[in-house]
Amino acid sequence: MSVTAASGFAAAGVAAGLKSTGKRDLAIVQNLGPLTAAATVFTTNRCKANPVLWSEQVMSDGVVSAIVLNSGGANCYTGSQGFQTTHATAEAVAERLGVSAGDVIVCSTGLIGDQLDLGKLTAGVRDAAAAIASGDAGSDDAGLAAAEAIMTTDTRAKQAAHVSPAGWTVGGMAKGAGMLAPGLATMLVVITTDAVLDSEQLDTALRRATRVTFDRLDSDGCMSTNDTVSLLASGTSGVVADLDEFTAALTAVCRSLAEQLQADAEGASHDIAIEVVNAFTEDEAVVVGRAVSRSNLFKAAIFGNDPNWGRVLAAVGTTDAVFDPYGIDVAINGVQVCTAGEPDQPRDLVDLAPRAVHVLIDLHAGDQTATILTNDLTHDYVHENSAYSS
C-alpha cells in the first residue's frame, strides 16, 4: 500500500531522537534500480528551506538514488550551519548506502528557525541504513515505518498504491496536516514506480498529476517553505509504461494522498469540496473555488453548521473571473439554496452534521470546472497552531 508497493525500492523509518516524544522521526527511501530516474516538484514559496535548496541542485540531472526525510525540525532559516547539516546528512546517506551524495534528496519538516542536531541525524541515518540492509526493507511494514517517521502534527500515516494490469505499480506516502496550500507541490510526498520511464517522462506525468490533486488542496491558505513531491522510477518491472496510462494511475495515487491529507487537517471537523462548474476557463474555476476555500467567514460558518450561502457569493465576488454577479447558483450538500443570485430552497434544509460537505457553484459563464478541497475553521485549529512551538 505504500512507498514500497513498487518493486525495486527499500524503506526504513527509525527514531533518531529529533522528536521529544521518542517516536520515529527519520526515514530513508532507496531506489535499488536498475533505473534511478526521478522528478520532483518543489514549493514556490520564495522563502525556501535548506533541504529544498540542496535538493533542487540534486534534481538538475534527474537522477536520484535515495531520499532521506526527517520530522522534528524544518531546517529553514538556519543559515549556513543549516545548509551544512543538510549536506552532511546527504553525505551520511551516501556513505551508508554506497551512492553519491549528489543523488540524495533531503527533506525536512517541523518548526522553522531551530537547528537540527547533526549527531542525531547521522545516527538515525546509520540505523535506517542498517534496517534497509536487514533484508525486510521492501515490505509493507517498512513502508509504513517510513510513512510514520515523517509525521508531525499528523494523526495517522498517509499511504496509497495502484497496480496496473500492464505489470507495473505506483506507490506513495505523504505527510501534512497544516500549511496545506498549493505551490506546485504540497507537503512532503514520496512516490515510487517500477515502470520503465525516463526523468523527462516522470516530470511530465508528475506535473500533470499535482496540478489537479495537491494543487487543488487548500486547507488553510498557508504555503510551507519545505514542500516537496518526488517521483522515483526503478524500472524493475521491465515494462515500458504508456505515459497517459501512467499519468492517470499517478493522478489516482496523488488524489488519494491529497484526500487523506484533507481528512487529517489540523483540528478540522468538516472536509469541504468546493466544486465550481460552468466557468469561462479552468483557471477561473480554480480561482473562484480557492477564494471560497480561503474565506474565514465561510469556513467558520461551516464549523458552526450554518449553511450561510451569502458568504460563498461574497467570496466569489472578490475574484476577477467572468460571471454575472446576479446569475450564480449555489447548492450545499444537494440543497439548492441560491438560484440566479436569489434565495431558493430554505437554508435550514441543508444538513451539515456529516463531516463531508459539498458546495456546488455554477457560474453560467462557460463549460470549465474545478474542485478545491478545504476544511472548516475550528477552535481546535486555532489552539493547535497557537501552541505549536510551545
Q: Where are the domains of the chain?
A: 9-263, 271-386
**pLDDT confidence of residue 221:** 73
Q: Specify the pLDDT at position 389.
A: 57
CATH number of 9-263: 3.60.70.12
Joined grid coordinates for residue 372: 478545491
The SS3 call for residue 212 is: coil
Cα–Cα distance for residue pair 287/316, rounded to 1 Å: 9
Q: How many CB atoms lie within 10 A of CB 33?
A: 14
Going residue by residue through the chain, which has 390 residues, state the pLDDT in tens, using 9 for 90 and above. 799 999 999 999 999 999 989 999 999 999 999 999 999 999 888 899 999 999 999 999 999 999 999 999 999 999 999 999 999 999 999 999 999 999 999 999 988 999 999 999 999 999 999 999 987 887 889 999 999 999 988 889 999 999 999 999 999 999 986 655 555 334 799 999 999 999 999 999 999 999 999 999 988 777 788 889 999 999 999 999 999 999 999 999 999 999 999 888 777 899 999 999 999 999 999 999 999 999 999 999 999 999 999 999 999 999 999 999 999 999 999 999 999 999 999 999 999 999 999 999 999 999 999 999 999 888 877 767 766 554
Specify whether the CB–CB gap between 195 and 263 falls below 8 A: no
Question: What is residue 275's three-state secondary structure?
Answer: strand
Alpha carbons 361 and 319: distance in angstroms, whole number:
14
CA pair distance 51, 107, nearest whole angstrom: 5
Residue from 4, 36, 186, 192 carrying the catalytic annotation: 186
Q: Is 186 an active-site residue?
A: yes
Positive or negative, the CA dihedral 93, 99, 101, 103 is negative
Q: What CATH class is the domain 271-386?
A: alpha beta
